[in-house]
Amino acid sequence: MIKAIVFDLDNTLVDFMAMKRQAIGAAIHAMIDAGLKLTREEVQLRIDKIYKDKGIEFQNVFDQLLYDEFQKVDYKILSAGVIAYRRAREAALVPYPHVYKTLMELVKMGLKLGVVSDAPAKEAWLRLSYLNFHHNFDHVVTFEDTGIRKPDPAPFVKILSLLNVKPHEALMIGDWAERDMVGAAKVGMKTVFARYGDTFGTVETNADYEVNDISELIDIVMNENKIRI
Amino acid sequence: MIKAIVFDLDNTLVDFMAMKRQAIGAAIHAMIDAGLKLTREEVQLRIDKIYKDKGIEFQNVFDQLLYDEFQKVDYKILSAGVIAYRRAREAALVPYPHVYKTLMELVKMGLKLGVVSDAPAKEAWLRLSYLNFHHNFDHVVTFEDTGIRKPDPAPFVKILSLLNVKPHEALMIGDWAERDMVGAAKVGMKTVFARYGDTFGTVETNADYEVNDISELIDIVMNENKIRI
């Protein structure tokens, strides 16, 4: 009997990589407009390198870019980039199709909902708030809550404990096979691979289920719980 | 012959205090919605006190509020506040009536335009970018450019030098008599008091002119330069 669904956040509930691409693209455009004397491609390469070095959650990517290039920060260019990034993010940070509808459906079916994200607490929660998700989930576990990332069992054990369900009573859905699927299976949860996400890692997922749309969760739960319409 | 106009930023070009009130109001609402167990009035008093202690440009006011109250930061509440603040700011950060039109008119008349703000460089430039002002002004002087605030002559001398005009060839418009008017007059600039702003200090301004709408600048320049239509 499935009593809870645990979701990965980025690229499972929200298309994080698409948002990043759009927001960075808008920022590059605006910085060149504000006077940055580099081509779009040159800026993109430098930004990709900074994210590669410092991680995708690094918050001062434009400061770093300008400092590396000119040994000082031009605030006119920086601000143009930051504002364009913020505006594009506001527009681009949206859930995948059928996410809101599916979450509501699962709540109506009496299921508890959780999130397990490897993102830092502040960034994860800001994204949840942007999406008005912060009332939809019973519990959220971010990196700071356990200090260790998936596929380590700790974040999975933590969310199961908060949701007060046994491992076999919970489904884990995520887009990263080696982290979300492997980690959840290890603690005894059922697994659903989000094929529609920005899928990382191997194609071989060993998941119990694979979905191309998040709404397929409804049928999976009905099947698991032998609910007949 | 007036060749340049120098503008104060906050409460002269943009109604900064109204924006702050609206954004903070929205954030308080959202934090209570996200679970903060205080009344609106209690939160407002605590926020007012933090701004009083740390200055109106302090960026971590909600973190500080939550930490003071609970000795830890609840990210669900914090994020709800930050997102509501950002969205309200985006909507509320608008120039006073006739600002865009007046700036364009002054440019067409061949005048150079500058900004002198006591705000930190990053915050001032972010506000200028929000307003799409960053291409309208020939030069901007913020706190970091001189390290000293109005009414000290340094920021006024700096902007006059950047605009390449003599003091008597420039008009200074601002809402803070003791800073904008006194400082500009001291270096020999003509002064215009923005009566429509969130006027600080004495009512006695000793300014050369007073305006209730920024578009009155056009007539002032025409009068100074003896332009007859």
Place of tokens 């302090």: B58
Residue A190: predicted pLDDT: 97
Section A191-207 average pLDDT: 79
Tokens of B225: 């330069």
pTM, entire model: 0.87
pLDDT at A34 over 70: yes
Higher pLDDT, B37 or B203: B37
Cβ contact B126–A82 (<8 Å): yes
Confidence of residue B197 (pLDDT cuts 50, 70, 90): confident
Of A75, A87, A140, the CB nearest to B125: A75
Nearest one of B179, B125, B169, B172 to B148, comparing CA atoms: B179
Region for residue B122 given its phi and psi (left: phi exceeds 0; alpha: psi -120 to 50; beta: otherwise): alpha
pLDDT at A202 over 70: no
- Angstroms from B80 CA to nearest CA on chain A: 6
Residue B147 is predicted with a pLDDT of: 96
- At B199 the pLDDT is 62
CA distance B88 to chain A (A): 12
Closest chain B residue to A63, measured at CA: B122
Residue B160's pLDDT band, with cuts at 50, 70 and 90, is: very high
SS3 of chain A: CCCEEEECCECCCECHHHHHHHHHHHHHHHHHHCCCCCCHHHHHHHHHHHHHHHCCCCCCHHHHHHHHHHCCCCHHHHHHHHHHHHHHHHHHCCECCCHHHHHHHHHHCCCEEEEECCCCHHHHHHHHHHCCCCCCCCEEECHHHHCCCCCCHHHHHHHHHHHCCCHHHEEEEECEHHHHHHHHHHCCCEEEEECCCCCECCCCCCCCEEECCCCHHHHHHHHHCCCCC
Residues in CB range of B47: below 8 A, 6 or more apart: B24, B28, B61, B65
Q: Which of A77, A125, A145 is the mutation pick for testing B, counting most B CBs within 10 A?
A: A125
pLDDT for position B76: 94
Give pLDDT, residue B229: 57
Q: If you search the block for the tokens 């400061």, which residue do you land on? A: A63
Q: Does the pLDDT value for residue A28 go beyond 60? A: yes
Q: Which residues of A touch B134 (CB under 8 A)?
A: 34, 76, 79-80
Q: Are the beta carbons of B134 and A86 separated by less than 8 Å?
A: no
Could you tell me the pLDDT band of residue A129, with boundaries at 50, 70 and 90?
A: very high
Give the CA angle between residues B63, B69, B73 to the nearest 5°.
35
Contacts of A121 in chain B (CB under 8 A): 75
Q: Which of B75, B121, B126 sits opposite A83 (nearest CB)?
A: B126
* Closest CA–CA distance from residue B191 to any residue of chain A (Å): 27
Q: For residue B117, what are the CA distances in angstroms to A67, A82, B38, B41?
A: 24, 20, 36, 31
B203, B207, B213, B215: CA torsion to nearest 10: 180
Residue A226: the pLDDT is 86
The pLDDT tens digits of the residues spanning A142-164 come to 999 999 999 999 999 999 999 99
CB contact under 8 A, A75 and B122: yes
Residue-wise pLDDT tens digits, B57-113: 899 999 999 999 999 999 999 999 999 999 999 999 999 999 999 999 999 999 999
Choose the mutation target among A74, A82, A129, A138 for the interface with B, i.e. most B CBs under 10 Å: A129
Size of interface A-B (CB pairs under 8 A): 62
Average pLDDT over residues A188-214: 85
Mean pLDDT of chain B: 94
DSSP for chain B reads ---EEEE--BTTTB-HHHHHHHHHHHHHHHHHHTT--S-HHHHHHHHHHHHHHH-TT-S-HHHHHHHHHHSS--HHHHHHHHHHHHHHHHHH--BPTTHHHHHHHHHHTT-EEEEE--S-HHHHHHHHHHTT-TTT-SEEE-HHHHS--TTSHHHHHHHHHHHT--GGGEEEEESBIIIIIHHHHHHT-EEEEETTS--BS-S----SEEESSTTHHHHHHHHHTT---
Q: Residue B134's pLDDT is what?
A: 84
pLDDT at position A199 is 62
Distance from CA of A122 to the nearest CA of B (A): 6
| Alpha carbon distance A57, B73 (integer Å) | 20
Q: Is the pLDDT of residue B202 over 80?
A: no
d(CA A167, CA A107): 19
Name residues whose C-beta falls within 8 Å of residue B157's C-beta, 6 or more positions apart in sequence: B187
User: Which positions in chain B touch A128 (Cβ < 8 Å)?
Assistant: 76, 79
Q: Which chain A residues are within 8 Å of B86, Cβ to Cβ?
A: 86, 90
Domains assigned to chain A: 4-15+95-224 (3.40.50.1000), 17-92 (1.10.150.520)
The average pLDDT across B193-210 equals 80
In tens, the pLDDT along A207-228 reads: 999 999 999 999 999 999 987 6
C-alpha distance from B186 to closest chain A C-alpha (Å): 29
Burial class of residue A7 (count of CB atoms within 10 Å of its CB; 0-12, 13-18, 19+): buried
pLDDT at residue B201, rounded to an integer: 54
User: A200 pLDDT exceeds 80?
Assistant: no
Contact B76 A121 (CB under 8 A): no
ipTM metric: 0.85
Burial class (CB in 10 A: 0-12, 13-18, 19+), B53: exposed
pLDDT of residue A13: 96
Q: What confidence tens digit (pLDDT) does each residue in A78-88 have?
A: 999 999 999 99
How many angstroms separate the CA atoms of B87 and B56, rounded? Answer: 19
pLDDT in tens, A100-123: 999 999 999 999 999 999 999 999
Q: What is the pLDDT of residue A201?
A: 54
For the segment B165-171, the average pLDDT, to the nearest whole number, is: 98
From CA A78, how far away is CA A141, in angstroms rounded? Answer: 33
Q: What number is the average pLDDT over the span B191-220?
A: 86
| Cross-chain Cβ contact B79/A128 below 8 Å | yes
Query: Is A125 close to B76, i.e. CB distance below 8 A?
Result: yes
**Which residues of A fall within a CB distance of 8 Å from B88?**
none
Residue ranges of chain B whose CB lies within 8 Å of a chain A CB = 34, 75-76, 78-80, 82-83, 86-87, 90, 121-122, 124-126, 128-130, 134-135, 140, 142
Query: Under an 8 A CB cutoff, do B86 and A87 touch?
Result: no
Q: Which residues contact B131 (CB under 8 A, 6 or more apart)?
A: B13, B14, B93, B94, B95
